[in-house]
Structure 1
Amino acid sequence: MPLFPFRASHQAAIPTPAKASRRFRRVSATAAAAAVVLALTACGGGGSPQSADGTVELRFSWWGSDKRAQVTQAAIDAFEAQNPGIKIKAEYGDWNGYWDKLATQVAANDAPDIIQMDEKYITEYSSRGALLDLSKYDVDTSKFDEAALNAGKSEDGLTGIAAGINAATILANPAVFKAAGVELPDDSKWTWADFERIAAEVTEKSPKGTYGAAAYGTDEASLGVWLRQNGKSLYTSDGKLGFEPSDIADWWAFLKQMSQKKAVPSAAEVVEAEAAPLDQSGLATGKNGLAFWWSNQLPALEKAAGGELKVLRFPSKTGSASDAQLWYKASQFWSASSRTKHPEEVAKFINFLANDVKAGEALLADRGVYPNSEVREAIAPKLTPADVKVVEFIDQIKGELGEAPAPPPKGAGAIQEIVKRYTSEVLFDRLSTDEAGKKAVDEMAAAISK
């Protein structure tokens, strides 16, 4: 998906060169440390004890906002009311420290029993035997979309149950378009050429500092869509890169072209904007007409914008929505430690989170659209208008989806930092697109081959 600012839920930014280098070294070191501690993980140890009165205590870790903590605790309370012999101890924090802490816990055989897992790291943990194969336990997946279910499967078993479904989207701020006197695009038939033309027109007819679109290149998801539309892929099924340096060079070349036509902000403005939190993003503040976000981020962005936003499909090369090559992404997974002393109880809790209406009524759409179709239907009356809009979009594109992408291989956690760093180099004209493509692919290949 070329051209936009694909923003992750933890608000990653395009860094300055020096900052990028430091951050990359830090992320690489973290990834290496995680690999080492996972490799050292021994059988036995870990897990939560059983109390003298027979009550089983399970530790449950996740990352997220205060709101997520509140709704998740409500789900925990509902589960404990149904299962008085099981107590859930909550352990949560923000994204930045989550993975360092989890790697340390796993190394010390002190992993939480239930773990909120991300697709960037599930293969890393699964392949080293740190996650429980949930297919061996009583977790019902019969009401799950096949693509969402398969996202948590690998040769190591079913090590993740999708907590929510997302899709890559372009969000439009109608107020920006109205002020510029430009019509919103018809997302059922627009092309990348249309995207560029429309974004440049909005910039031209808007006050200085307002742009038709935000720049992309801060998340490998945007690269993944671009590659899929060009017959390539981010990863192959055997854990390799599915593209060549020239493919990512073309992606950056289009971004440079957009920048030259002022359809997107300048390099300096991109750095400044990408350092901002969600509520200060260009889309939320009316400085961008279009931006790339995951679908589950719409409610928070609408709240920040103080007005309605519109969900759009990606443009395609042909103008056909079925050629946009979108897919259902598992927003997060419910996973479990393979060292838990209480696998049956763990599975019971995960099954509750995935399939019980009481859990759905508590969690609603916080982690994306509910994967269980029956729970999704049951909680629909309780969803906010913004959440309903997301659910409708997810349902609308179901018949247009491309094949589910291969899961990220081991070491893929470093890819996003590499993409961001070289995007910055290209935008600041420190490297040509071809030079950046060669260097980036070499680093990416090294990261996933370790």
Structure 2
Amino acid sequence: MRKTVSIAAIALLGALTACGGGGESESGGPVTLRMTTWSANPAHVELFNAIAADYRKTEPDVTVTFEALPLENYTTTVTTQIAGGNAPDIAWILEGSAPDFVASGALTALDDSIENTADLAPAATALWKQDGKLMGYPFSTSPFGVFVNTDMLRQAGQTLPTGDKWTWDNAVAVAAATAAKTGKQGLVIRDFDYKDWSNLATVFRGWGAEAWTADGKTCGFDQQPMVDAMTFLHKAIFTGKALPAPGVAADFFAGESAMTIAQISRASLLKDGKFGWTLVPLPAGPSGAYSVIGQGGLGVLKKGKNAAAAQEFVKFFTSPANSEKLAQFFPPPRQSQLNAGTLAKANPLLKPEQLQDVVIDGIANGVVKPSHTGSAEISQAVRSALDPMWKPGADVPGVLRGVCTAIQPLLAK
């Protein structure tokens, strides 16, 4: 059922090119703007509402509401809303579906709605441009790092490897030993849960592996770097017991695992100080040090009822002043703000050196998570084809060949 819905959602997005911007007419009276997001984190919601309240001080006729949708079905829900005549005015777009939204004609260009576009990092905006126009604003350009429960490691008699010793081999060894000693879990790849395979890019890119070639036309799952990376991951799960097995849930931020791969937006979950922790970059893999970036962009929907008013709010929401506030959770694409001093003001829980090592250096050297047109259909095909790998004794190379068999026709579209 999910595959049918996902394919239908992409078909709906494609149809928007023909539908055009029929929803752009303005009412002329008080306006209520609706922005969809995937985060119901109370700290995020509080910040968004505060920015909206500030906007009302100068635009009293504009009310902004934020609609949090479940992450797993987020894009499907938004595209269904658009096709059903209930398009949000503004949508938080995930990097995986950015190519579909940008290419579909569903979004209005934002070049005139963003202050000082020259300050935006070219690497951060590349995914969001079409024919030189900025179709989405990547307000969150956030590298992944590893949060570590230092109290749990200490309890297990383990020491966090540092410097050149911070490698994937050593990371899973410490995670496995800590899990065995404490009875809790070792390393959790947050939001993977054996469903969202794209989060595995935080691991397999350490082997230089890619889901597909840079032009998006050729599958990379059956190539040796991916085979090596997935073999390592399979062994870490089923032999070393360093990662939770399928069906096992563990929340690092509730003290249930020794480590988790996540972005700095999650740091707010640690403000209660229940245990000691640190944040470090992703471990080095056989191909060396690397960084993986997740992005969230803001898009103004042509079919929204108040597109012009939405563009004005986006201009306010993304201003340098509000960008600095949002940096508490969402590292900005503004080059002038990508420094430890600015980010530290908004992130009191993180040390300047952590922000430098994980965020600033990560943005400078990182690669965005896999994205492709037709992302929903491709992602579902990858997920289904990977299912046989998540059991002991799986034929990892054979499974990965099956992934390519499943997605190569989709990549060639």
TM tier, shorter chain?
0.7 to 0.9
Alignment of 1:190-201 (within 5 A): 190-201=166-177
- Bigger shift: residues 181-190 or 223-232: 223-232
Q: 1:198 to 1:227 in 2, by over 3 A?
A: closer
**Equivalent residue for 1:262, pick from 236, 240, 244:** 240
Alignment of 1:128-167 (within 5 A): 128-135=104-111, 137-155=113-131, 157-167=133-143
Contact 1:355 1:375 in 2 (8 A): no
Q: 1:316 to 1:165 in 2, by over 3 A?
A: same
Name the structure 2 match of 1:36: 11
Contact 1:211 1:287 in 2 (8 A): yes
How far the C-alpha of 1:324 sits from its partner, in A, is: 2.0
How far the C-alpha of 1:185 sits from its partner, in A, is: 1.0
Contact 2:185 2:256 in 1 (8 A): yes
Q: 1:294 to 1:352 in 2, by over 3 A?
A: same
In the alignment, is residue 370 of structure 1 matched against residue 332 of structure 2? yes
Name the structure 1 match of 2:34: 59
How far the C-alpha of 1:335 sits from its partner, in A, is: 0.7
- Say which structure, 1 or 2, has more relative contact order (CA 8 Å, 6+ apart): 1
**Alpha-carbon distance in 2 for matches of 1:154, 1:325:** 27
How far the C-alpha of 1:344 sits from its partner, in A, is: 4.7
In the alignment, is residue 308 of structure 1 matched against residue 276 of structure 2? yes
How far the C-alpha of 1:188 sits from its partner, in A, is: 4.8
How far the C-alpha of 1:136 sits from its partner, in A, is: 5.3
Q: 1:213 to 1:405 in 2, by over 3 A?
A: closer
Gaps of 5+ in 2: none
Name the structure 2 match of 1:440: 403
Deviations 1:291-310 (A, max 9, x none): 3223322332x257822321
Q: 1:175 to 1:419 in 2, by over 3 A?
A: farther
One-letter amino acid matched to 1:410: T
Alignment of 1:338-357 (within 5 A): 338-340=302-304, 343-357=307-321
How far the C-alpha of 1:36 sits from its partner, in A, is: 2.5
Name the structure 1 match of 2:228: 250
In the alignment, is residue 94 of structure 1 matched against residue 62 of structure 2? no
Q: 1:69 to 1:220 in 2, by over 3 A?
A: same
Partner SS state of residue 262, structure 1: coil
Name the structure 2 match of 1:325: 290
Deviations 1:347-398 (A, max 9, x none): 332122112425644x4524x2233355676674354424878644445525
One-letter amino acid matched to 1:220: W
Q: 1:400 to 1:340 in 2, by over 3 A?
A: closer
- Give the RMSD, CA atoms, in angstroms: 3.4
How far the C-alpha of 1:226 sits from its partner, in A, is: 4.6
How far the C-alpha of 1:258 sits from its partner, in A, is: 2.1
One-letter amino acid matched to 1:354: T
Partner SS state of residue 22, structure 2: coil
One-letter amino acid matched to 1:210: K
Partner SS state of residue 20, structure 2: coil
Aligned residues: 404
One-letter amino acid matched to 1:31: S
Deviations 1:66-120 (A, max 9, x none): 5233321211111221334544354443335543432223224542222111112
**Alpha-carbon distance in 2 for matches of 1:266, 1:192:** 16
Contact 2:37 2:67 in 1 (8 A): yes
Name the structure 2 match of 1:240: 217
**Alpha-carbon distance in 2 for matches of 1:389, 1:60:** 34
Gaps of 5+ in 1: 1-24, 274-279
TM-score w.r.t. the length of structure 2 is 0.82
- Bigger shift: residues 33-42 or 238-247: 238-247
How far the C-alpha of 1:46 sits from its partner, in A, is: 1.9
One-letter amino acid matched to 1:249: V
Q: Among all aligned residue pairs of Structure 1 and Structure 2, give the percentage whose two residues are the same amino acid.
A: 19
**Alpha-carbon distance in 1 for matches of 2:218, 2:99:** 15
Contact 1:47 1:111 in 2 (8 A): no
**Equivalent residue for 2:392, pick from 425, 429, 439:** 429
**Alpha-carbon distance in 1 for matches of 2:161, 2:79:** 45
Q: 1:29 to 1:447 in 2, by over 3 A?
A: farther
Name the structure 1 match of 2:23: 46
How far the C-alpha of 1:38 sits from its partner, in A, is: 2.3
One-letter amino acid matched to 2:87: A
Q: 1:50 to 1:266 in 2, by over 3 A?
A: closer
Partner SS state of residue 202, structure 1: helix
Contact 2:90 2:301 in 1 (8 A): yes
Partner SS state of residue 40, structure 1: helix
Contact 1:236 1:242 in 2 (8 A): yes
Q: 1:153 to 1:304 in 2, by over 3 A?
A: farther
**Equivalent residue for 1:410, pick from 353, 373, 379:** 373
**Equivalent residue for 1:185, pick from 161, 171, 176:** 161
